[in-house]
Amino acid sequence: MNFIAMDFETANRQPDSACSLAIVAVRNDKIVNNFYTLIDPQSEFNYWNTRINGITSTMVATAPTFAQVWPHIAALFSTDQLVAAHNAKFDIRVLQSTLQRYQIEPPHFLTIDTVKTSRKLYPQLPNHKLDTVSKYLQIELNNHHNALADTYACANILLTQEQQFGPDTIKKLVTLV
């Protein structure tokens, strides 16, 4: 299986306030590369978001804006590229809203949500949060709400699901954004 996993953290409740992004590339069922960056969201930080993800305005003071990051990652988002995220609705909304903020045309790409796959494949779990699914599948998640740690967990969840249930089961859960 070939795909990328992504995760955003935000500065506040607004979806266009991305303050960090991580991407993990998977080729032939192996994690082969990763990308992580802090992002200057050019907006206010909310106490609650900072409490969850640990990112402050001071930490992103010299970070690039998302408009500066996008040219480096844009090629990863195409109609022939599968993008995985845990609670993909949130991460896709952050991506699309942030692109819209900078007047960048949002791409179309294939996506799979490991919350949805986990609900379908592990209905016995009490919930399908990233830490719950990771623990159930014995996948390491040491720094929850760090975008890179969360992205590795998401990638490993999807790889484990493919191994347990087969690629055909996983392909049925892919959608186009």
Q: In the chain, which residues have pLDDT < 70?
A: none
The per-residue pLDDT for 89 is: 97
The per-residue pLDDT for 46 is: 96
Contact status, residue 24 vs residue 30, Cβ threshold 8 Å? no
Q: How is residue 170 written in tokens? A: 């996983």
Write the DSSP symbol of residue 45. P
The per-residue pLDDT for 126 is: 98
Q: Helix crossing, 88-101 with 66-73: angle to 10°?
A: 110
Q: How is residue 122 written in tokens? A: 């592990």
Domain extent, residue 61, equals 3-176
Q: Which CATH number does the domain housing residue 172 bear?
A: 3.30.420.10
Model confidence pLDDT, tens digit, residues 104-139: 999 999 999 999 999 999 999 999 999 999 999 999
Domain count, the chain: 1
Bridge partners, 24 (sequence order): 5, 34
User: Which stretches of the chain are assigned E, i.e. beta strand?
Assistant: 3-10, 18-27, 30-38, 82-85, 110-113, 175-176
